[in-house]
A and B are shown apart, each in its own frame.
Chain A
Amino acid sequence: DIQLTQSPSFLSASVGDRVTITCRASQDISSYLAWYQQKPGKAPKVLIYAASTLESGVPSRFSGSGSGTDFTLTISSLQPEDFATYYCQQFNSYVPLTFGGGTKVEIK
């Protein structure tokens, strides 16, 4: 199985802050990586796919980068509605598809 390690697992930030979350794969996954946002009691929502492509309707303050084993999700200016948990997911090896452990972003 391909393991995805997210860091940090928790971060505290203020509105307007630039936030970066990293996702490291246990082997090369090319650009087969997606990022999701999940708010409490809600289903996850895709933000980024193919490592850096913004899903339609997602604000441009979200961006993704990376390839191979190291990836980042950046929120350029954190907004109140961005406080949530973020997950990465790899699609390079689909048996099984795997998720990172999640990064919870909370208000400082």
Chain B
Amino acid sequence: QVQLRESGPGLVKPSETLSLTCTVSGYSISSTYYWGWIRQPPGKGLEWIGSIYRSGSTYYNPSLKSRVTISVDTSKNQFSLKLSSVTATDTAVYYCVRGALMVVTARFDCWGLGNLVTVSS
């Protein structure tokens, strides 16, 4: 059974960099599928942040692209998110996800439990 688990600080100061890691179990991230991040501000809807393929190809939401880096560590079966220069508007639950993209069967079929990150001094 595939499981994804986010880890990282729950509190980040304004202007600093938010860093989260997703550990994948039950499936090799070197295989097929894209791996990515989606966030949800408290009481609001879902926003796709970006995705990465095993080759290292990345796709970012243009609204965040200048501040986002997603990377993969296949040796640890993990992938990571870095979001720089955070403000209070980046406060959200951050989910790591597995997705099939660029195919008619595209969807995000596995999600982590979510990690609430609050941006505050």
Contact A102 B114 (CB under 8 A): no
Expressed in whole angstroms, the minimum distance between the Cβ of B25 and any Cβ of chain A is: 16
Question: Is the C-beta of B101 less than 8 angstroms from some C-beta in chain A?
Answer: yes
Please indicate the chain B residues that have their CB under 8 angstroms from the CB of A94 in the complex. Answer: 51, 59, 101-102
| Stretch from A13-21, A47-55, A71-79 contacting the other chain | A47-55
Please indicate the chain B residues that have their CB under 8 angstroms from the CB of A89 in the complex. Answer: 46, 107-108
Type the 1/0 row for B104-121, where 1 means its CB is closer than 8 Å to any CB of A: 111111011110000000
Please indicate the chain A residues that have their CB under 8 angstroms from the CB of B51 in the complex. Answer: 94, 97
Measured CA separation A37–B95 after assembly (Å):
15
Question: Is the C-beta of A66 less than 8 angstroms from some C-beta in chain B?
Answer: no
Contact A50 B109 (CB under 8 A): no
Contact A31 B102 (CB under 8 A): no
Please indicate the chain B residues that have their CB under 8 angstroms from the CB of A99 in the complex. Answer: 45-48
B contact patch SS: loop
Q: How many Cβ-Cβ contacts under 8 Å join chain A to chain B?
A: 66
Contact of B63 among A36, A87, A96 (CB under 8 A): A96
A contact patch SS: loop
Question: Is the C-beta of A34 less than 8 angstroms from some C-beta in chain B?
Answer: yes
Contact B111 A43 (CB under 8 A): yes
- The chain A residue sitting closest to B63, CB to CB, is A96
Please indicate the chain B residues that have their CB under 8 angstroms from the CB of A30 in the complex. Answer: 104
Contact of A34 among B62, B107, B112 (CB under 8 A): B107
Measured CA separation A70–B112 after assembly (Å):
30
Within 8 A of B (CB), among A58-103: 87, 89, 91, 94-102
- On whether A46 and B107 interact (CB within 8 A), knowing A87-B46, A91-B101, A96-B48, the answer reads yes
Please indicate the chain B residues that have their CB under 8 angstroms from the CB of A32 in the complex. Answer: 104, 106
Measured CA separation A98–B61 after assembly (Å):
9
Question: Is the C-beta of B60 less than 8 angstroms from some C-beta in chain A?
Answer: yes
Measured CA separation A30–B104 after assembly (Å):
9
> Which residues of B line the A interface, CB within 8 A?
45-48, 51, 59-63, 95, 101-102, 104-109, 111-114
